[in-house]
Structure 1
Amino acid sequence: MKKLAVGFPFAVVGMAAVGLVFAGAGRGGAQEDQPCPPDDTAPVAELDEHQSAHARTIVAVGERHDVPEFGLAVALATAAQESMLRNLDHGDRDSVGLFQQREPWGSFGERTHPPTAAKFFYTGGAGEQPGLLDIPGWQNMPLTEAAQAVQVSAYPDAYAKWEDDAWTWLADITGTPPPDNGCDPDDGEPDKPVGEDPPPLVDDPAALRARAQAFADASEAGLPDPFYGATSYYLLCAQLAARVHGHAHSGHISALDQWQAYTASGVAVTDGSPPPPGALLFYTNQPWGHVAVYLGNGKAISNDILDEQTGRQGGVYIVDTTEFTDGAWKLPYAGWAPPIY
């Protein structure tokens, strides 16, 4: 666990080094959202007295608003990154408090009143800024993305490093064990493609990866399809997947049509088993669906036309499979199928 710095100036997201000043709980602002003090005032794991009190307040306010445990962990990780769980009276420009909320979120007194600042984080600021509970689909986001959706920080990935600590603090406060990240609860949905690879579906996985890399390299260089000479192949995911496997066309009008055909014929795999290298990964986004080729070790080759969402120029890329479900795409994973053409 990272030990939070105490007793000296430090830098937080978007801030120069600042001195530590603690605002009293009764210092201005709305008081109606202050929860009853937690019965247990013992220090939380590796936090000092002030940090522990603020962590307990964040959790108590969240519980009062029926925030699930993941949301409480998001809030703890956010406050750890923004202020080291300290109630700062100044920061970058007009940012103050545990969450370094800026002036439009509320008065100085409200933003430096820990219960009110925590409530703002969960339910939104006084200026109608969205809180965590206002973010569509936040429960299914990675923790750092959920935090960033509220904070809109210049360092959107910074919250991730506090995730393990946040769950540890939450467990210490609530007595609930941290989640076991080694397994997923059975929610009725097929698991995402992660874990150790089964035996490949192709005779030469290295050759498949080399062929995939040739497509990606040609796309990056602005060159035509290295095997078929086309220039717009990256717009069609099903065609690209077929060509990676040595077929000019998929034989289907869309990836969704291809998946439905595989499902009807009984070759689709929806039991949550990990895909072998060479498998076709299917996603059931409407209306066309999406398909990529699994290359092994968590990597897949895919076209990418979501320029605005991904920040990449449309083309062909080799990416982590998590990009499809947890990255900019947010695609619903359906399962995998052998490359039958």
Structure 2
Amino acid sequence: MGRVPLRLVIALLAVLGLMGAGLVVIPAMMMMGIAGVEADDSSGVSSTMCSPIAQTGNTDVTLGEDQLANAQTVIETGVSLEIPARGLVVAVATAMQESTLQNLSGGDRDSMGLFQQRGGWGSASQRTDPVMASTMFYTGGKAGQPGLLDIDGWQSMTVTDAAQAVQRSAFPFAYARWESLATSLVESVVGDDPLGCDDNAVGADLPDGAVGDMLQVALEQQGDPYVWGAVGPDSFDCSGLVVYSWRQAGHPLKIRTAAQMYDNSTHVEPGDEQPGDLLFGALGERGSAGHVMIVLEPGTAVQAPETGRDVQITKYTADDVNWKLGRLDDSAFARTKPAGAAA
């Protein structure tokens, strides 16, 4: 297929995941900004294009022309191999984490290229050729390393798990933070559906570290059904979503129910809540909780609501007397509490 002009690369969407049914748009994922820059088209007339600015934690990442071109190569190589859209997102998110979409000549030990592939994957020239490096990520390395297509069930995995199955990184949860950016780039190149500089797709950014990893896991469960007593991976009750998300982020809880979480939390005043805090409802006469949601940002939470409804993003009013905010204590975690999980 022909190359899509860089003017078509879109600003960051607040989008999570390209599942089999298509794009799932959510109102709160990552902060974006629009930077207008000048570029010359083939006619020699100067025109304005937009570069995506992704914010993760306290870090702003503005993609330059080379990075956008590399993302386009990763995507178009996958399209030529008939890789499903979900695989394209996994590949772009992986390259973003490994190299920030830069074709690096070096790295940790003998790692090179967009995917920081080690020497066994191929020669230096192969690993620093964006088309070849992308092909190897999808189909496997020259010494028999499995590529994405070799991973059983990769299409139903989270971006983190699919990327880790190929890369075997020491920091597997880092891939998740780039899923929204990768999704927007894939939609731009494959869907030929750019946003202009006047679009305002603004949401909340996820924090760095364990809390951000936990929130990413929770967000990836959107669309899974509520089932009482379920703790994943394909269905959840309200507290089961909390338990599963922390466990997948590497910090298992010792407690299971909303009431236990309420009893093992420090009260947080409305307006002082942080991402990862919990919102408790259905409060009983004795002060126990019957429902729990996970705060994404003040006023927005992710929850497994009730029978007949799926995991979803929810708006809330923190000063409602029927709801209480809390932050899990050390006693709630099976191991040392992750940084940022409590003040």
TM tier, smaller: 0.3 to 0.5
The normalised TM-score by structure 1 is: 0.46
The normalised TM-score by structure 2 is: 0.46
Which has the larger strand fraction?
2
Report which structure shows greater RCO (CA 8 Å, sep ≥6).
2
